[in-house]
Structure 1
């Protein structure tokens, strides 16, 4: 039986130049109890399509044509007020960002109970009992406590479970899950997707899973619809599309999905050593961290030890990954290596220099040798500056060259990261996420560092953009002999980019070694858990 049927859906947005159509005649069906994945990059129209179905388009959005049949009833022409009777009752929505979707000043229980009250339940005791039942149903421990807490008191995975509880409160026939796990660690992502899958099997609920990641689609969907530029380019059973995509774009998505990639990076030959005697005398390690400790004060409690006796080495010209879930200590370790934080104990040898013992003026000079690329390129780039100013900023700070020399260097760097020269006159808000990250990398290279630390530098990007950035990093490493310290929670990406890995948990390194060895023969239970959570490895349940 078909729960949802879409035919010829067209959606447009108001712009200064008039209305612009962004969804062009999209159509597909979702069967009862089925998971259908709507896959595509940012801008492909997948979220717009999903939100158009239930009248949640942003301001300026409009459905211009087509049919949307929910349980055999065409709701395409319904007013926003009338569609409210559908939302929650027949269709539940699990949005992407729980931080933006939950009210920070109201307790969790009040927010979950609101959908019950909106749809007519007036007995507060019934509402409270149902809220506690829902919170328990989605796997939150101590539901009574969680109901009293505020969103900021819960982890990202807990907040996402709260949104799922709200979506299933009225037992809808269809759940729309819009990138429900894109901001979560791999293990948390797996638990959330497992929860949605359990609900589907037990309740017979259908799921429209909106995702940019074909690895997730491969795990969870029976059928896949691929969108590009607002049009369906391919659809069919998931196993058939994954085994033999017919469209070139689908093939590219598959090739770029890190979870579905195969092979490992091999350590480079020592091309950067000058001769045999120099090779014998030179320290082969660009970074050697030994016994690093970092604690943070907590009011009224013992200090929190974020990094606890961490040691690792990174060979010159290679990529070493620090991997682990949020709170594992990997970002704090990176900030110690770059001396944005001072270690409480331990040593950091950067090519013969004890970084931990540097004075403030010496730390400034350290920036010539080691640079940091952040996760979010939009927040790390000054929106008031042009791209030319941003890229040349390190040169200006270190007083290298005249204005003309700095401008010429900025142009060379923009060429090197494969951006067109005309971006130099633009501002960050005029660029895509992938372009902004390329600008951030160009800026990091401006003063010719030996080491680049990349802190979740590709985690916010679509898989195709992510793949291009990883290819760029690999080519720059080969050309310039760069050493990378790569921070990530995503083992699929780590497999693709790194030569060696340290797995961190609760501030400690629990396992480390060559990437290929660690993936083939993990020795620690936590490493095995992380590997098991990589999307693309799970058999799809019927």
Structure 2
């Protein structure tokens, strides 16, 4: 039986001065009873627009122009907002991408879960309270009574996503639309959320429309895959057959760009210290040496929280060393210690043999010339009011590096080096895509010719195709300029692609470290094995 049938769907948005612009073109697919169908594509492919159009949740200016949306045989495509509200929740549950934006920050969790019950006619407060606690327990939240009283900011990202799933399944709908439900989560949390959706599907017979940019997730979880590009379906079919023999060039590109699914995994080029024997025999071959780093944070009414606990590692010049672990493992705090945006409570940090842990004032400012940081979110780290030329040139201005003419030439050179067109210099960050903004952030970090670049989750917010291009850029820059990278990530598939050595962190401590391939092929610590087991699509490719 087909739970959802989409036939010839066309969606458009109002376009100022240009009437309307069609963004979804003649899309047709079906979701069977108890089936998981994945809709896959990069940003701008139309996958989220398609999902939202099915239940009347298009943003302002969006409109379904043609096509049928049959839910258990009933065409709801022409229904107005009021009639569609009776469908949402009761017949179709939606799990949105961003729990931070989807939950009301000023209302307790229990109130928000109970609202879906109340809207659909359940008025008895005692019955609703019992059902809320049952749902919170069902989605795996510990101490449901406590969680029901808490606010969203008091829960982790994975816990907030579980709350959204509880809301989506509260009325036992026949279909769940999961729109990038795990894209912002660590691999182990991602696996638990997807396992939860699988459990609910098996127990309730619910069908799932899974919207994702990650072919690895689709490979693990879906029986069939629909591939969207520029609002059109380029290919669809059974998962195993589609992955084994993709017919469309775009599908093949998505497959090649997914780190865990690539048939021939790209390994980092031999590091500079292996290609140059002189560097290996130098007096100090290490660009970064951390010894016994400790960082604690005060907590009200409790003992200080130790975020980094006796962390030590070394990074050879011209290589990439990765710090991996879940959120809360201490990897980002360690990165901020290395870049001296935080002061360590104990331990030493050597850059090119000089201990910088105690630097202050002008000496600390001068340190910025040798080490730079690239953040996860390029939009929040780039001033939206400034032009790209000013953003990239700001470090040169701050350090009074060269004349105005020389700085302008350096900025143009950097923009060219990160493979952006020269006309971006006059634009602002708002006018660029996520991948373009991250290239600008990298260009800015390179402006004053640092020796070490720290990349803090620098590709985790990007689609796999854009991510692959940024990784290629980082590798080429390292090869050309002899850069040393400290790469912070929760994504082990990406780490395997780009790093030469790796340290695995948990609760502020290093659990295991070594050459990347050794860690992947023969992990010694149970936590490392758990992280590796959670990599989406890992079962599809031999280690």
TM tier relative to shorter chain: over 0.9
Contact kept, 8 Å, 1:501 with 1:512, in 2: the verdict is yes
1:265 corresponds to 2:268: yes
1:406-421 to structure 2, matched below 5 A, reads 406-421=407-422
Q: How big is the shift at 1:360?
A: 1.9
Contact kept, 8 Å, 1:293 with 1:305, in 2: the verdict is yes
Contact kept, 8 Å, 1:386 with 1:427, in 2: the verdict is yes
Contact kept, 8 Å, 2:272 with 2:482, in 1: the verdict is no
**Superposed CA offset, 1:439-476 (max 9, x none):** 00001011111000000000010000000000000000
- Matching residue of 2:179: 178
Aligned length: 537
- Matching residue of 1:62: 63
- Matching residue of 1:2: 2
Q: Partners of 1:125 and 1:528 in 2: how far apart? A: 44
After TM superposition, the score normalised by the length of structure 1 is: 0.98
What SS class does the counterpart of residue 461 from structure 2 fall into?
coil
Q: Partners of 2:399 and 2:189 in 1: how far apart? A: 43
- Matching residue of 2:441: 440
What SS class does the counterpart of residue 258 from structure 1 fall into?
coil
- Matching residue of 2:325: 324
- Matching residue of 2:285: 284
What SS class does the counterpart of residue 105 from structure 1 fall into?
coil
Q: Partners of 1:130 and 1:319 in 2: how far apart? A: 50
Q: Partners of 1:281 and 1:500 in 2: how far apart? A: 20
Q: Partners of 2:243 and 2:474 in 1: how far apart? A: 27
- Matching residue of 1:227: 228
What SS class does the counterpart of residue 164 from structure 1 fall into?
helix
- Matching residue of 2:388: 387
- Matching residue of 1:427: 428
- Matching residue of 2:255: 254
- Matching residue of 1:302: 303
**Superposed CA offset, 1:306-359 (max 9, x none):** 000000000100000000001100000000001111111001110011010212
Q: Partners of 2:353 and 2:143 in 1: how far apart? A: 52
**Runs of 4+, deviation exceeding 6 Å:** none
**Superposed CA offset, 1:174-220 (max 9, x none):** 00000000000100000000000011111110000000000000000
TM-align CA RMSD: 1.2
Distance 1:538 1:105, change over 3 A: farther
What SS class does the counterpart of residue 84 from structure 1 fall into?
helix
Q: How big is the shift at 1:537?
A: 2.8
Q: Which runs of 5+ in 1 are unaligned?
A: none
**Superposed CA offset, 1:252-305 (max 9, x none):** 0000011213253254243886x84x7534311110000000011112111111
1:498-513 to structure 2, matched below 5 A, reads 498-513=499-514
Contact kept, 8 Å, 1:378 with 1:433, in 2: the verdict is yes
What SS class does the counterpart of residue 503 from structure 1 fall into?
strand
Q: Partners of 1:24 and 1:353 in 2: how far apart? A: 60
1:135-150 to structure 2, matched below 5 A, reads 135-150=136-151
Contact kept, 8 Å, 2:260 with 2:537, in 1: the verdict is yes
Q: Partners of 1:157 and 1:271 in 2: how far apart? A: 41
Contact kept, 8 Å, 1:264 with 1:516, in 2: the verdict is no
Q: How big is the shift at 1:165?
A: 0.4
**Superposed CA offset, 1:108-165 (max 9, x none):** 1111011111000111111111111111111111111111111111111010000000
- Matching residue of 1:13: 13
- Matching residue of 1:456: 457
What SS class does the counterpart of residue 358 from structure 1 fall into?
coil
After TM superposition, the score normalised by the length of structure 2 is: 0.97
Q: Partners of 1:424 and 1:224 in 2: how far apart? A: 39
- Matching residue of 2:475: 474
- Matching residue of 1:333: 334
**Superposed CA offset, 1:398-446 (max 9, x none):** 0011111111000000110000001011111000000000000001011
- Matching residue of 2:125: 124
Contact kept, 8 Å, 2:274 with 2:280, in 1: the verdict is no
Distance 1:271 1:513, change over 3 A: closer
Q: Partners of 1:500 and 1:395 in 2: how far apart? A: 32
Q: Which runs of 5+ in 2 are unaligned?
A: none
Q: Partners of 1:259 and 1:393 in 2: how far apart? A: 38
Distance 1:108 1:482, change over 3 A: same
